[in-house]
Amino acid sequence: MRHCNACGHAVEFRVPDGDHLPRHICPHCGHIQYINPKVVVGVIPEHADGRVLMCRRNIEPRLGLWTFPAGYMEASETTAQGAAREAMEEAQVDVHVDGLLMVINVPYVSQVYMIYRGTMRGDHFGPTFESSEVRLMREDEIPWDDIAFPTIWNGLRQFFDDRAKGRYEVHSLDLAFRRKPPLRDEVAGDAATP
Amino acid sequence: MRHCNACGHAVEFRVPDGDHLPRHICPHCGHIQYINPKVVVGVIPEHADGRVLMCRRNIEPRLGLWTFPAGYMEASETTAQGAAREAMEEAQVDVHVDGLLMVINVPYVSQVYMIYRGTMRGDHFGPTFESSEVRLMREDEIPWDDIAFPTIWNGLRQFFDDRAKGRYEVHSLDLAFRRKPPLRDEVAGDAATP
- Give per-residue pLDDT as tens, B84-93: 999 999 999 9
The three-state secondary structure class of B141 is helix
Beta-ladder partners of B124: none
pLDDT at B124: 98
E strand segments, chain B: 12-14, 23-25, 32-33, 38-46, 52-57, 66-67, 70-72, 95-106, 111-120, 131-137, 171-174, 188-189
CB contact under 8 A, A35 and B4: no
* CATH class of the region B1-35: mainly beta
DSSP assignment, residue A182? P
B105–chain A nearest CA distance, Å: 6
Q: What burial class does residue A154 get, using C-beta atoms within 10 Å of its C-beta: 0-12 exposed, 13-18 middle, 19+ buried?
A: buried
Say whether A190 sits in a helix, a strand or coil: coil
Which residue is closest to A79 within chain B, CA to CA?
B105
**Cβ neighbours of B158 in A, within 8 Å:** none
**Measured torsion, CA atoms of residues A16, A19, A24, A27, in degrees rounded to the nearest 10:** -10
Inspect the interface and report whether the beta carbons of B1 and A2 lie closer than 8 Å: no
Using DSSP's 3-state secondary structure scheme, residue A98 falls into: strand
What's residue A193's pLDDT? Answer: 34
pTM of the full predicted structure?
A: 0.90
Please give the radius of gyration of chain B, using alpha carbons only, rounded to the nearest integer. Answer: 19
Contact B108 A10 (CB under 8 A): no
CB A72 within 8 A of CB A83: no
Residue in A with minimal Cα distance to B37: A75
Helix (H, G, I), strand (E, B) or coil at A186: helix
In this prediction, residue A104 carries a pLDDT of 98
Cα gap B170→B102, rounded to integer Å: 5
Q: Does pLDDT of B51 surpass 60?
A: yes
A-chain CB neighbours of B90 within 8 Å are none
So what's the pLDDT on residue A49?
Answer: 97
> B2–A8: do the CB atoms touch at under 8 Å?
yes
CA distance A132 to A62: 12
SS3 state of residue B184:
helix
Enumerate residue ranges in chain A where pLDDT < 70. 178-194
All residues of chain A having their beta carbon less than 8 Å from the beta carbon of residue B7 are 2-3
Alpha carbon A139 to chain centroid, angstroms:
20
**What are phi and psi for residue A46, nearest 5 degrees?**
-105, 130
What chain A residue is nearest to B20 in terms of C-alpha separation?
A89
Domain coordinates of chain B in residue numbers? Answer: 1-35, 38-186
- H or E segment at A151? helix A150-165
How close does chain A come to B147, measured CA to CA in Å? 23
Paired with B10 in beta bridges are B3
* β-pair partners for A103: A114, A172
Choosing among A1, A2, A3, which should be mutated to test the B contact, i.e. which has the most B CBs within 10 A? A3
User: Does the pLDDT value for residue B188 go beyond 50?
Assistant: no
- Nearest CA to A73 out of A40, A122, A96 is that of A40
Question: Is B116's pLDDT higher than 60?
Answer: yes
What are the pLDDT digits (tens) for A36-50? Answer: 999 999 999 999 999
So what's the ipTM on this one?
Answer: 0.89
Would you state the pLDDT for residue A192? 39
| Structure confidence at residue A180 (pLDDT) | 54
Q: How far is A21 from chain B (nearest CA, A)?
A: 9
Residue contact A79–B108, C-beta within 8 A: no
Backbone angles phi, psi at A6, to 5 degrees: -90, -45
Q: State the average pLDDT over residues B74-81.
A: 96
Do B4 and A7 make contact, defined as CB atoms within 8 angstroms?
A: no
B116 close to B83: Cβ distance less than 8 angstroms: yes
pLDDT tens digits, B9-47? 999 999 998 788 899 999 999 999 988 999 999 999 999
CATH architecture of B38-186: Alpha-Beta Complex (3.90)
B36, B38, B134, B144 from B150: Cα distances, Å: 22, 17, 20, 10
What are the DSSP calls for B154-174, one per residue?
Answer: HHHHHHHHHHHHT----EEEE
| Residue contact B103–A79, C-beta within 8 A | yes
Closest-CA distance, B101 to chain A, in angstroms, reads 10
Cβ-nearest to B6 among A2, A98, A110: A2
CA A60 to CA A83: how far, in whole Å?
20
Chain A environment of B114 (Cβ under 8 Å): 103, 112
Q: CA B83, B86, B88, B90 torsion: positive or negative?
A: negative
